[in-house]
């Protein structure tokens, strides 16, 4: 019995050892790599991982279908991955990345590496150079990553999908196996990282391409080559022959000798982008130059972005295997632009900086290898004119119209943004706001009509149109923000019976709406009181073309924040009538009393008042008495209205 127990114990121990992979002690799986490329870097990267039968059965469940489903679910789109069973009962996982150029290979590797969210994630860098010229002879292939960096996605998938592998990381599952490079049919074995160079170099020290871009898309270019004195001496007359052959038609070349180097400069002007690309291709001894310009409006503001994509290949002159070797892209634009971003496609952008002067904005980008660099420039889109018209029909009937006049170029960039803003405001008062669009020749006018029932409501509607918050003016002042738009005032009650007096203060803040945009022809403001008023500006104003014409005030300004204080008066016919009736009734009372004073005295002096016998209540005297009563009533009523200023 003891022998049987001992035998069972030994068998159990062996099983435990065999199945150790299921309990966290899985033997590492080798990743074998073969990179095959030709002189144009057209080729493929093949990586294989052979999973032993035991691990495949017990750690992966022995199901090829499940493994294939997992691979199909998690494989990055830039590689081809398969799983096939072998004769030993195990399975081979094969990954293949096909590419036609170094740039395509770089992008695919970068996409795969982006799936690694651990601290060990890297930015892949691939150096390739193949040259057979007086400057360089040989080839270089260098990578700063290994196939382990390309297997992170698979290790994560295995850890998620297979309970036996839960919690394991890539170092627990895989390890580097054999790595080899096949270049142009020649096979070479590598140690972990791919790194091989046979180049013998007389390369230049630095190349820079400076492009001054005008708004009409013409470009003034300056390409500079820095050559060490050692290379100048080594190449002799061959250098002159080389440089002379780089000069485009209608271009000029100069050179200057320094203490340790010689600097060549080729300068030319190009009327179009295509001319520029052709000239740069010749100057850089390549066909790969890219220079693309695109412009689009910014939906969040009345501004636009100009995207400039540049790719200059200086690999004919430079040996990028030298860590000190760099190439500079220099872009000169108008100082009205602001640099919003500068990014590279292939990850070789080492540094970028921008400097401003009164004449130009210069952006300098330094790359460690040929790279596609995209610079995004922000700029404000100017508006031709803004018209603001306000009609005060009464204190409860006020109408305002905003009109924005845009050129065809501005319409293409920000027209939809303005229209969307106006429509968004109109949605809050659908019955009191109307948005209109009118095409005038090649220009477009966007307008919105506001119909308010009070000055306070017009303030709220104006703020909605201009995109202002409802923060109080006190809070905005405390926070350092500009004052909100504000419309206050109205008819001043009870000032005097002869005139109706109105005062209004109108503050408009278009800064938030216009952002950095300028108004070419200014803001034209018009305020009209109702018919009969005579309007005037109050206080001194600095507006251009300020004028008053009857009930209408007009002025112009280029300031985005304007404040107009005004007053208007007209005759108060009702008040004048009331005062006239008061005077007339008073005169009537006095006259009637004087005409009937004798009869009144007689009536009052009698000890016994006899109304029926008094002449005061007969004939014409009765009529006078009736008129007196009417005059007294009118006098009392008009006096009350004058005292309480009901006019």
172-192 tens-digit pLDDT: 899 999 999 999 999 999 988
Integer CA distances (angstroms), 164 to 27, 51, 130, 349, 567, in order: 14, 15, 47, 43, 86
Neighbours of 77 (CB within 10 A): 8
* Closest by CA position to 447, among listed 412, 486, 469, 415: 415
pLDDT at 473: 47
Alpha-helical runs (H) found in 19-167: 53-58, 64-74, 102-113, 152-161
CATH code for the part of the protein at 202-380: 2.60.40
Q: Are 366 and 291 in contact (CB under 8 A)?
A: no
Place of tokens 């000169």: 332
Q: Please write the tens of the pLDDT for every residue from 247-269.
A: 999 999 999 999 999 999 999 99
* β-sheet bridge partners, residue 298: 303
φ, ψ (nearest 5 deg) of residue 351:
-160, 150
User: β-strands 261-270, 219-228: how paired?
Assistant: antiparallel
pLDDT digits (tens, 9 = 90+) for 518-544: 899 999 999 999 888 888 888 756 677
User: Alpha-carbon distance 614 to 226, whole Å?
Assistant: 131
- Residues 134 and 201: their CA atoms lie apart, in Å, by 9
Do 270 and 212 form a contact (C-beta atoms < 8 A)? no
Three-state SS letters, 375-440: EEEEEECCECEEEEEEEEEECCEEEEEEEEEECHHHHHHHHHHHHHHHHHHHCCCCCCEEEEEEEE
What is the structure's pLDDT at 501?
A: 83
Q: What pLDDT score does 215 carry?
A: 82
User: Rounded distance, CA 450 to CA 448, Å?
Assistant: 7
pLDDT of residue 244: 95
The pLDDT score that the predictor gives to residue 289 is 95
CB 375 within 8 A of CB 345: no
Structure tokens at 33: 């790599």
* Residue extents of the structural domains in the chain: 21-197, 202-380, 385-571, 575-643
The count of C-alpha atoms lying within 13 angstroms of the C-alpha of 513, restricted to the half-sphere facing its C-beta, is: 25
> What is the block-wise mean pLDDT of the chain (647 residues), using blocks of 10 residues?
43 41 62 95 95 86 88 90 90 95 90 77 85 90 92 90 86 93 94 90 94 90 96 94 94 94 95 93 94 84 88 91 88 91 88 92 92 91 93 94 92 88 93 93 92 94 85 44 77 70 90 84 93 81 81 92 88 74 85 76 62 60 79 83 71
| pTM, rounded to two decimals | 0.66
Distance, in Å, from the CA atom of 505 to the CA atom of 520, rounded to the nearest integer, reads 26
């Amino acid at each position: 019995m003891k022998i049987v127990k001992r035998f069972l114990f030994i068998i159990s121990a062996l099983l435990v050892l065999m199945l150790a992979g299921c309990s966290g002690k899985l033997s590492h799986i080798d990743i074998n790599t073969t990179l095959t490329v030709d002189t144009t870097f057209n080729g493929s990267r093949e990586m294989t991982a052979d999973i032993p039968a035991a691990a495949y059965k017990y750690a992966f469940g022995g199901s090829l279908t499940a493994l294939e489903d997992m691979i199909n679910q998690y494989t990055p789109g830039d590689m081809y991955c398969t799983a096939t069973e072998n004769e030993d009962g195990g399975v081979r996982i094969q990954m293949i990345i096909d590419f036609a150029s170094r740039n395509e290979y770089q992008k695919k590797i970068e996409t795969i590496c982006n799936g690694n969210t651990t601290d060990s994630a890297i930015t892949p860098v691939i150096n390739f150079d193949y040259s057979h010229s007086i400057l360089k002879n040989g080839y270089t292939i260098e990578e700063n990553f290994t196939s382990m960096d390309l297997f992170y996605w698979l290790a994560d998938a295995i850890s998620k999908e297979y309970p036996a592998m839960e919690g394991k990381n890539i170092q627990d599952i895989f390890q580097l196996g054999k790595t080899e490079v096949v270049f142009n049919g020649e096979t070479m074995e590598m140690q972990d990282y791919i790194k091989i160079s046979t180049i013998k170099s007389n390369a230049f020290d630095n190349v820079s391409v400076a492009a001054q871009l005008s708004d009409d898309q013409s470009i003034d270019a300056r390409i500079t080559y820095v050559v060490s004195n050692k290379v100048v001496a080594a190449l002799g007359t061959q250098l002159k022959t080389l440089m002379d052959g780089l000069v485009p038609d209608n271009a000029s070349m100069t050179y200057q000798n320094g203490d340790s180097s010689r600097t060549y400069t080729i300068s030319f002007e190009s009327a179009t982008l295509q001319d520029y690309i052709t000239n740069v291709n010749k100057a850089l001894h390549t066909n790969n130059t890219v220079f693309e310009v695109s412009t689009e409006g910014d939906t969040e503001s009345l501004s636009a972005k100009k995207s400039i994509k540049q790719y200059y290949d200086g690999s004919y002159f430079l040996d990028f295997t030298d860590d000190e070797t760099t190439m500079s892209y220099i872009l000169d634009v108008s100082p009205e632009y602001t640099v919003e971003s500068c990014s590279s496609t292939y990850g070789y952008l080492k540094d970028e900086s921008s400097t401003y002067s009164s004449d130009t904005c210069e952006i300098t980008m330094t790359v460690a290898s040929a790279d596609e660099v995209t610079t995004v420039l922000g700029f404000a889109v100017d508006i031709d004119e803004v018209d603001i018209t306000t009609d005060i029909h009464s204190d409860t009937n006020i109408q305002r119209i905003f009109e924005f006049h845009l050129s065809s170029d501005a319409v293409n960039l920000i027209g939809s943004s303005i229209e969307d803003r106006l429509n968004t405001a109109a949605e809050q008062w659908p019955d009191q706001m109307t948005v209109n669009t009118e095409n005038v020749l090649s220009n477009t006018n966007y307008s919105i009509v506001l119909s308010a029932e009070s000055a306070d409501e017009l303030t709220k509607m104006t703020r909605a149109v201009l995109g202002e918050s409802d923060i109080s003016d006190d809070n905005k002042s405390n926070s350092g923000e500009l004052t909100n738009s504000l419309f206050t005032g109205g008819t001043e009650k009870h000032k005097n019976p002869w005139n109706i007096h109105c005062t209004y203060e109108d503050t408009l803040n278009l800064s938030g709406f216009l952002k950095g945009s300028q108004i070419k022809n200014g803001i034209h403001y018009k305020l009209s009181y109702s018919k009969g008023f005579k309007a005037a500006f109050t206080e001194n104003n600095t507006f251009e073309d300020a004028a008053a014409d009857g009930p209408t005030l007009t002025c112009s300004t280029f300031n985005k924040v304007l404040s107009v204080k005004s007053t208007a008066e007209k005759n108060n016919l009702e008040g004048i009538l009331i005062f006239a009736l008061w005077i007339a009734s008073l005169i009537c009372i006095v006259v009637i009393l004087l005409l009937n004073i004798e009869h009144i005295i007689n009536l009052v002096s009698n000890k016994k008042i006899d109304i029926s016998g008094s002449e005061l209540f007969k004939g014409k005297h009765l009529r006078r008495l009736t008129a007196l009563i009417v005059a007294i009533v009118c006098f009392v009523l008009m006096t009350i209205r004058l005292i309480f200023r009901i006019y």
